[in-house]
Amino acid sequence: MPVNKEQRARPGSPGAGENSRPGEVRLQRYLADAGVASRRHSELLITEGRVKVNGRTVRELPAFVVPGEDRVQVDGTPIEGAERRVYIMLNKPTRTLSTVEDEPGAARRTVLDLVDHPSGARLYPVGRLDFDTRGLVLMTNDGELANRLTHPKFGVEKTYHVTVKGYLDAEGLEKLEKGIYLAERREGRTVGAVRASHVRLKMLRRDRERTILELTLKEGRNRQVRRMLAAVGCPVKKLERVAVGPLKLKGLASGEWRELSNIEVQMLRRAVERGTKKAAMGPNAPREGKAQKPGWSSRKPGRSQPPPDGGRREGSA
């Protein structure tokens, strides 16, 4: 039985109310995904009374169905083929590939070996983490959302905690913030250099032996964090992704996964929509947070010197 929004939506979170069922989607989206018609045209089919869900005509929008569970008909014809959308958060351990399979002849563990969803949905990782990077990996069979979460045009932020060898000084931090030039390689050859886009930094800990930073990026070039840190003379010792857009990695031990709630999926969609609007405004779109004068200390390190601002950089976190 489709559930009508008025019965359950909370203000400000349409379609993501407390009583919503895992994997549910808007009826017009279900029809569009199944190839019946565009979303707009599907809305007309619904309001004209041509769509039945579990034997009952649905005329009012919004209405929600769970693909694979609810029976949908248009003009009496059953609509098949739309798979239930599944969205997973995994805490990827190191020494695990974030691809669906290894290269021929190799047999390393992949993220798919760790996630065994009961629906049997064909899941794909959203973007990539290096073999030795740990942390938050999203997995889904929703190709459209996955593309938008990874395409730099939509600017969905990814946040990392990175531990580097040595004391990363003020000069290095400023270089990182301004944007390091990274070699651009195609077909195994360097074809130029591209400046990494704006990065937000927050100092978490720093002493003579190591520096721990929180780093937020809007793009995901190959091994970007490792290459940026190497360029300022600080090789990465440990790298963990702790957030993708508004979703934070919390409550999952290494190797564990869980399904996202409908509210979390809505949060991801909204992050993508914000990016779409900004992209439409062009390069003059206002940037989040106000640029401030660098405040990093260039003092020589003591044994365990806290950052000058207590670990928080105004306007850059």
Q: Name the site residues for ligand URA (rule: CB under 6 A).
A: 129-130, 133, 223-226, 239
How many Cβ atoms sit within 10 Å of the Cβ of residue 272? 19
How many beta carbons lie within 10 A of that of residue 174, not counting itself? 14
Q: How far is the CB of 224 from ligand URA (least distance, A)?
A: 4
Query: What minimum distance in Å lies between the beta carbon of 120 and ligand URA?
Result: 28
The torsion angles phi and psi of 60, rounded to 5 degrees, stand at -105, 140
What CA–CA distance (Å, rounded) separates 67 from 141?
Answer: 12
Q: What is the DSSP letter of 153?
A: G
Q: How far is the CB of 244 from ligand URA (least distance, A)?
A: 11
Beta strands in 142-295 (DSSP E): 158-165, 181-186, 189-195, 200-206, 210-217, 236-244, 247-248, 257-259
d(CA 17, CA 11): 9
Nearer to ligand URA, 9 or 225 (CB): 225
Nearer to ligand URA, 206 or 241 (CB): 241
| Residue 70 a catalytic site member | no
Least Cβ distance, residue 212 to ligand URA (angstroms) = 16
Q: Is 144 helix (H, G, I), strand (E, B) or coil?
A: helix
Identify the active-site residue in 70, 130, 207, 309.
130
Residue closer to ligand URA by CB (options 112, 199) is: 199
Q: Do 172 and 128 meet the contact criterion of CB atoms below 8 Å apart?
A: no
Which residues are the active-site residues? Answer: 130
